[in-house]
């Protein structure tokens, strides 16, 4: 993080000053009003002759009348009541507006109000810092970020610092996820990804287990192994555990697609579709980011995150069209397209997670289908779920965090489109069925028992080619802010009531709509056996055990 952030109770001269302006083009807040009146109304006069209309987000740069200040930015807040996301976006806009010759910034944010926002100065700084991120690890000449110090006026400095501490941790988690997604596949393999997860999370008290290829085989994950068998880089299966809640409380589980490179396999992708496939692990990166902020902010819930890490490559050993694999659930799958590999890895990851942890809720994130881009572009991620309640909670978190979701339908018809004539399932539908994102979600549903589950297809949003207020083009870190907001909603009675009402309005109980897979054989014994081995291994590994204990004692 390149910016130092502080909160002050009084004005301080800085290279750049931000003053907020109402829809009527009036200066908002005593600090900026005083600055204006003490300096011959230079802001009011500049506004009078400017072309801005007072709409949210409009801004002008004003040359300062004093030597102590280099530039003043007047930024309009418009006439709407400001949401938490609006405040964050204003922060991002500020970062974008600050001239490159300024080292320090002072934000006169007194006088702004928002019913939804916990602390305006901290949220503004959060938006500004989120926008400052760039991936320059591989640039031999780094672009210097001149701006070093950001100060904001606060009427309650203690609260601002308290909220900032939490938001700063969220930022570092988002940045880590963006970095992982940006990392090329020659440096981020399943093994190096697993190492990075250990290095990031073990010191924070998260219990991390990494299963290697032999252990994955013992678990019976034939679908995941089929994908990885063409690659020289062996798979890893990573299970992360945070025990912040009471012992008897079922965890909330998050599962991420972790294909570190998706060439398509023998159904190899053609130009330009392979470009960007280093980001096919964005779901896994998001759950790791979520676990980081959960641990840093000492979340009072039990959280499990799971990532199946594989590389999808063509080779003499690669799986072939028509191969039949047996998933951990016992269901057999006819692999008719090796490029529909994400659902194969998730089949085993979802089954493992729900069977082992019996979570209250299970949410998966996956760059699963190109079809979701045709449907929603990069504005919304696709949401699929067997639970109206969980969907509503996620949609509300999406609106609040700005990582928005749009729910798409699921119904029995689509199940029939993935029936194979010679195995239990096939991994693609027959030509002509279309609805590629929905049929993929139905494939995943076959690996979820009676559990409230949601699948987020993030293929369109993990990286973007346009600039957003708080995100530059490139990796977005999608999912970390959304799911952290989702977890926070459990602590907010008001939100849960709203969610309950919404879910009731929809008229369907979640339990009723949760689908059951009663004919699937359980592999609990196998899990227990491998678990035993893992525990023994960890017994020898003092660091892991010590961290697990540290976590348990929190």
For the bound state, the minimum distance from the C-beta of residue 259 to Zn ion, rounded and expressed in Å, comes to 5
Helices (H) and strands (E) in the chain, counts: 19, 20
Shortest CA distance to 412 belongs to which of 375, 444, 442?
442
347 binds ligand BES (CB under 6 A): no
Q: Could you say which residues in the range 140-199 bind ligand BES, by CB under 6 A? A: none
Shortest CA distance to 365 belongs to which of 207, 202, 501, 478?
478
Active site residue 196: no
342 binds Zn ion (CB under 5 A): yes
Of 119, 179, 311, 341, the one binding ligand BES by CB under 6 A: 341
Give the residue carrying structure tokens 């693609």: 428
| 357 vs 123: CA distance, rounded Å | 35
The rounded Cα 552 to chain-centroid distance in angstroms is 26
462 binds Zn ion (CB under 5 A): no
Of 179, 209, 215, 262, the one binding ligand BES by CB under 6 A: 262
| 323 vs 327: CA distance, rounded Å | 13
Of 209, 339, 462, 469, the one binding Zn ion by CB under 5 A: 339
369 binds ligand BES (CB under 6 A): yes
Residue 520: count of CB within 10 angstroms of its CB: 18
262 binds Zn ion (CB under 5 A): yes
Of 90, 147, 303, 459, the one binding ligand BES by CB under 6 A: 459
DSSP 3-state of 419: strand
**Two tokens at 436?**
């590629």
420 binds ligand BES (CB under 6 A): no
DSSP 3-state of 236: strand
436 binds ligand BES (CB under 6 A): yes
Give the one entry of Zn ion, ligand BES, none that residue 152 binds, where binding means its C-beta sits below a cut-off of 5 to 8 angstroms depending on kind. Answer: none
Shortest CA distance to 284 belongs to which of 336, 210, 221, 231?
210
Q: Could you say which residues in the range 280-339 bind ligand BES, by CB under 6 A? A: 280, 337, 339
Of 428, 435, 480, 487, the one binding ligand BES by CB under 6 A: 428
Question: Which of the following is catalytic: 269, 300, 301, 358?
Answer: 269
Q: Binding residues for ligand BES, how many (CB under 6 A)?
A: 14
Question: Which of the following is catalytic: 343, 445, 446, 523?
Answer: 343
457 binds Zn ion (CB under 5 A): no
Instruction: Say if residue 497 is exposed, middle or buried (CB neighbours under 10 Å; 0-12, 13-18, 19+).
Output: exposed
For the bound state, the minimum distance from the C-beta of residue 457 to ligand BES, rounded and expressed in Å, comes to 9
Q: 416: Cβ–Cβ under 8 A, 6 or more apart, which residues?
A: none
Active site residue 343: yes
| 218 vs 501: CA distance, rounded Å | 45
Of 331, 367, 449, 544, the one binding ligand BES by CB under 6 A: 367
With contact defined as beta carbons under 8 Å apart, do 340 and 321 qualify? no
Which of these ranges, 22-30, 148-156, 257-265, 515-523, lies near Zn ion under the rule CB under 5 A? Answer: 257-265
With contact defined as beta carbons under 8 Å apart, do 109 and 56 qualify? no
By C-beta, is 153 or 471 nearer to ligand BES? 471
| 426 vs 448: CA distance, rounded Å | 17
For the bound state, the minimum distance from the C-beta of residue 151 to Zn ion, rounded and expressed in Å, comes to 44
Using CB under 5 A, list all residues that contact Zn ion.
259, 262, 280, 339, 341-342
Using CB under 6 A, list all residues that contact ligand BES.
262, 280, 337, 339-342, 367, 369-371, 428, 436, 459
Catalytic residues: 269, 343
């Amino acid at each position: 993080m390149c910016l130092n952030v502080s909160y002050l109770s009084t004005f301080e001269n800085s290279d750049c000053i931000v003053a907020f302006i109402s829809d009527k083009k009036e200066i908002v807040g005593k600090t900026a009003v005083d600055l204006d009146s003490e300096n011959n109304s230079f802001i009011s006069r500049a506004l009078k002759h400017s072309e801005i209309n007072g709409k949210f987000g409009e801004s002008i740069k004003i040359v300062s009348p004093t030597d102590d200040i280099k530039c003043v930015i007047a930024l309009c807040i418009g006439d709407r009541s400001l949401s938490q996301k609006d405040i964050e976006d204003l922060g991002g806009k500020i970062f974008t507006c600050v001239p490159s010759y300024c080292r320090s910034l002072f934000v006169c944010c007194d006088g702004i109000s928002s019913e939804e926002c916990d602390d305006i100065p901290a949220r503004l700084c959060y938006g500004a810092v989120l926008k400052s991120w760039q991936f320059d690890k591989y640039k031999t000449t780094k672009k210097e970020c001149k701006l070093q110090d950001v100060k904001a006026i606060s009427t309650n400095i203690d609260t601002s610092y308290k909220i900032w501490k939490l938001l700063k941790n969220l930022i570092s988690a988002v940045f880590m996820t963006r970095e992982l997604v940006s990392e090329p596949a020659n440096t981020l393999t399943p093994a190096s990804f697993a190492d990075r997860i250990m290095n990031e999370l073990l010191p924070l008290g998260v219990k991390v287990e990494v299963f290697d290829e032999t252990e994955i085989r013992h678990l019976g994950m034939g679908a995941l192994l089929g994908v990885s068998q063409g690659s020289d880089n062996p798979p890893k299966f990573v299970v992360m555990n945070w025990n912040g809640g009471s012992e008897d409380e079922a965890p909330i589980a998050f599962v991420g697609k972790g294909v570190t490179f998706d060439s398509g396999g023998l159904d190899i992708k053609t130009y330009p579709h392979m470009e960007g496939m280093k980001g096919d692990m964005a779901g896994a990166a998001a759950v790791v980011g979520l676990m980081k902020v959960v641990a840093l902010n000492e979340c009072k819930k039990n959280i499990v995150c799971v990532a199946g890490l594989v590389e999808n490559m063509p080779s003499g050993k690669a799986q072939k069209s028509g191969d039949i694999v047996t998933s951990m659930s016992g269901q057999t799958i006819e692999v008719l397209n090796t490029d529909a590999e994400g659902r194969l890895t998730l089949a085993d990851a979802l089954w493992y997670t729900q069977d082992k942890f019996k979570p209250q809720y299970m949410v998966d994130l996956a760059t699963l289908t190109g079809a979701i881009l045709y449907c929603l572009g990069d504005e919304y991620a696709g949401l699929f779920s067997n639970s109206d309640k969980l969907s509503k909670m996620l949609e509300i978190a999406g609106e609040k965090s700005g990582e928005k979701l749009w729910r798409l339908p699921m119904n029995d018809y689509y199940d029939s489109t993935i029936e194979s004539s010679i195995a239990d399932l096939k991994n693609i539908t027959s030509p002509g069925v279309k609805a590629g994102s929905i049929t993929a979600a139905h494939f995943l549903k076959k690996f979820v028992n009676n559990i409230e589950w949601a699948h987020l297809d993030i293929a369109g949003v993990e990286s973007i080619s346009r600039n957003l207020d708080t995100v530059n083009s490139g990796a977005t870190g999608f999912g970390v802010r959304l799911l952290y907001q989702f977890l926070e909603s459990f602590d907010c009675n008001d939100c849960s009531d709203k969610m309950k009402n919404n879910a009731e309005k929809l008229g369907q109980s979640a339990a009723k709509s949760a689908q059951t897979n009663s004919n699937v054989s359980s592999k609990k014994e196998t899990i227990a056996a491998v678990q035993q081995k893992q525990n023994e291994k960890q017994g020898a590994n003092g660091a892991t055990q010590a961290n697990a204990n540290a976590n348990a004692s929190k």
